[in-house]
């Protein structure tokens, strides 16, 4: 089969839907399909019925492949929401519990025990402490709340359930999804000493492989259900966040994907594991053994939505261009309080210094404020030894604003690139094509760039003083540690 005729299938298991893309070697989307998912929230509880995942995948796959020569499909990979876990029957993979979703926090009571048992490893891996929504605390909660199903059970991440259905038997899990379950990403194994101390039964956890590892082939039953050809290689996937990074093409060392949605999330590539004394950066492992560090700030476009609900943002953006020399300084938080990256400050609150003359000036100050925090993130990453001089790819809803992208390029003082698409399903199609090839090489062929934005020469140095003024104010309020402020 010629390279021009090959098709790679990516499956993204989201919160509200399953998304499937069929993609050619050169990145053309040849088919797509979606199917809805429902979840149930009640306070700290957030569950999905895992029995709904496979029917949704079947429907979305059939739709994506309906107009293609299915014989051209050469691989498939699946991503899932990070930290979503359940117990399944070891014998047949049947779900024994609901799926505890990525932000279910009922396992708060297990957290101290988890962090005491794994303190040394969590520190070595850079994140220092697990959070209530992470998968290992949730596993302990499941074992306590469902002791009978735990007999003859196995832990499964969301993507594992679909991979098992595709291949028709037990499958290993990938290191990306296993990070929040306590996997030792340095030695690529489960930490038996930590798990023994936590009374996790031997054999409960699946084998571990890197993302991009072939784990089986599509079985005849799955082929009949999905339209994927029997015998198609199934490749171990990753979390949805890492899948989006793959979809953006940020796979070369020193390249970064800055995702500006409700909040601001940075994900990059380093050759060595970053040691972060503050624990605000944690790293996944790349398919080729390098590292994918990242962090999530609480600033972002959510702050705009809170302050200007229902506003005509294009009109505000046009007005904001008149206020690039504003004396108003804003620290825009998407939530009521709390910062996570590049510093941890649970008591941090949004603020505005100065008196905006109109909404357009306040809007400008908020756009600038997000850009200044983004600049601080990169400064802190560089101070940890991370290379930051590669491509910078902007994705997320904020990347739809041409003016905001230009402003971010100006504040950062570097060119930015805008991928044509960066959705997780595209990242999984890229990953499906990686066995035997360098992931960065595959991404360079399959990820299309729709625009490159250079900093405007007329803005050189314009934002330096306002940036330092905001940093000084964050420091004065006691939120920003000196080691970050001086980075």
Residues 12-36: pLDDT tens digits? 998 899 999 999 999 999 999 999 9
Q: What is the token pair recorded at 213?
A: 């590892």
Whole-angstrom CA distances from 192 to 180, 198, 242 are 15, 10, 26
Question: Which pLDDT score, from 0 to 100, does residue 421 have?
Answer: 85
The matching CATH number, chosen from 3.30.1380.10, 3.30.420.40, 3.40.50.300, 3.90.870.10, for 3-241 is: 3.30.420.40
Residue 350 sits at the vertex; the CA angle it makes with 319 and 354, to the nearest 5 degrees, is 55
d(CA 29, CA 52): 26
| Whether the predicted pLDDT of 158 surpasses 90 | yes
150 vs 3, residue with greater confidence: 150
d(CA 268, CA 290): 11
Residues 162-218: pLDDT tens digits? 999 999 999 999 999 999 999 999 999 999 999 999 999 989 999 999 999 999 999
Phi and psi at 168, nearest 5°, equal: 80, 20
Q: How many CB atoms lie within 10 A of CB 336?
A: 9
List all residues 6 or more positions away from 186 whose beta carbon is below 8 Å from its beta carbon.
124, 125, 273
Average pLDDT value for residue range 155-159? 97
Q: What is the token pair recorded at 131?
A: 């959070």
- pTM (2 d.p.): 0.90
Sign of CA dihedral 440, 444, 445, 449: positive
Q: What is the DSSP letter of 357?
A: S
- Considering the chain, tell me which residue range(s) the CATH 3.30.420.40 domain(s) occupy: 3-241, 250-421+456-485
| Whether the predicted pLDDT of 1 surpasses 70 | no
Evaluate whether 430 touches 21 at the Cβ level (below 8 Å).
no
The region, left, alpha or beta by phi > 0 then psi within -120 to 50, assigned to residue 289 is left
- Residue carrying structure tokens 């009571």: 109
Average pLDDT value for residue range 88-111? 94
Evaluate whether 222 touches 237 at the Cβ level (below 8 Å).
no
Average pLDDT value for residue range 450-479? 96
**Average pLDDT across the chain, whole number:** 94
Q: What is the token pair recorded at 437?
A: 């090839």
Evaluate whether 411 touches 466 at the Cβ level (below 8 Å).
no
| SS3 of residue 229 by DSSP | coil
Is residue 349 within a helix (H) or strand (E), and if so which, with residue range? strand 345-349
d(CA 329, CA 350): 11
d(CA 101, CA 49): 10
Q: What is the token pair recorded at 371?
A: 């850009």
Q: What is the token pair recorded at 240?
A: 């949805």
Average pLDDT value for residue range 270-282? 91
Q: What is the token pair recorded at 158?
A: 């969301």
d(CA 381, CA 289): 20
Alpha helices in 118-269 (DSSP H): 119-125, 135-145, 158-167, 175-178, 192-197, 220-226, 240-248
Residues 24-75: pLDDT tens digits? 999 999 999 999 999 998 999 999 999 999 999 999 999 999 999 999 999 9
Q: Tell me, which fold does domain 250-421+456-485 have in CATH?
A: Nucleotidyltransferase; domain 5 (3.30.420)
Residues 343-373: pLDDT tens digits? 989 999 999 999 999 999 999 999 999 999 9
Evaluate whether 130 touches 122 at the Cβ level (below 8 Å).
yes
CA atoms within 13 A on the CB side of 409: 24
Residues 213-240: pLDDT tens digits? 999 999 999 999 999 999 999 999 999 9
d(CA 260, CA 248): 13
| Whether the predicted pLDDT of 148 surpasses 80 | no
Q: What is the DSSP letter of 71?
A: G
Sign of CA dihedral 236, 241, 247, 249: negative
| SS3 of residue 267 by DSSP | strand
Give the β-pairing of 337-339 and 345-349: antiparallel
């Amino acid at each position: 089969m010629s390279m021009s005729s090959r098709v790679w299938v990516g499956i993204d298991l989201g919160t509200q839907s399953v998304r499937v893309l069929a993609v050619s070697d050169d990145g053309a989307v040849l088919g797509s399909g979606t199917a809805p998912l429902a979840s149930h929230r009640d306070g700290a509880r957030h569950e999905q019925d895992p029995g709904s995942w496979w029917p949704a995948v079947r429907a979305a796959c059939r739709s994506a492949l309906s107009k293609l020569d299915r014989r051209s499909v050469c691989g498939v990979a699946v991503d899932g929401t990070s930290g979503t876990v359940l117990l399944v029957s070891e014998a047949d993979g049947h779900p024994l519990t609901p799926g505890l979703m990525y932000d279910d926090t009922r396992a708060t009571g297990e957290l101290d025990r988890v962090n005491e048992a794994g303190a040394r490893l969590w520190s070595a891996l850079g994140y220092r402490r697990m959070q209530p929504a992470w998968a290992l605390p949730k596993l302990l909660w499941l074992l306590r709340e469902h002791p009978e199903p735990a007999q003859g059970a196995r832990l499964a991440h969301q993507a594992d359930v679909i991979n098992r259905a595709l291949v028709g038997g037990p499958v290993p899990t990938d290191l990306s999804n296993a990070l929040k379950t306590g996997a030792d990403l340095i030695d690529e194994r489960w930490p038996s000493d930590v798990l023994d101390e936590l009374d996790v039964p031997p054999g409960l956890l699946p084998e571990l492989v890197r993302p991009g590892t072939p784990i089986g082939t599509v079985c005849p039953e799955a082929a009949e259900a999905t339209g994927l050809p029997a015998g198609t290689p199934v490749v171990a996937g990753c979390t949805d966040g890492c899948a989006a990074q793959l979809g953006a093409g940020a796979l070369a060392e020193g390249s970064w994907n800055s995702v500006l949605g409700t909040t601001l999330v940075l994900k990059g590539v380093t050759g060595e594991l970053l040691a972060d004394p503050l624990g605000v950066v944690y790293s996944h492992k790349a398919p080729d053994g390098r590292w994918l560090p990242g962090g999530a700030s609480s600033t972002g476009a959510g702050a705009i939505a809170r302050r200007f609900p229902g506003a005509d943002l294009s009109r505000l953006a046009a007005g904001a261009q008149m206020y690039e020399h504003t004396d108003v300084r804003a620290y825009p938080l998407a939530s009521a309080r709390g910062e996570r990256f590049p510093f941890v400050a649970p008591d941090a609150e949004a603020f505005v210094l100065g008196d905006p003359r109109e909404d357009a000036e306040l809007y400008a100050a908020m756009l600038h404020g997000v850009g200044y925090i983004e600049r601080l993130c990169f400064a802190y990453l560089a101070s940890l030894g991370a290379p930051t001089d590669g491509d910078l790819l902007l994705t997320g809803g904020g990347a739809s604003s041409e003016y905001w992208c230009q402003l971010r390029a100006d504040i950062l003082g570097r060119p930015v690139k805008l991928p044509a698409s960066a959705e997780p399903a595209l990242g999984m199609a890229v990953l499906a094509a990686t066995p035997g090839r360098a992931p960065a090489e595959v991404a360079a062929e399959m990820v299309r760039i729709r625009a490159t934005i250079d900093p405007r020469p007329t803005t050189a140095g314009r934002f330096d003083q306002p940036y330092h003024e905001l940093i000084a104010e964050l420091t004065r309020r006691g939120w920003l540690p000196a080691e970050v402020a001086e980075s």
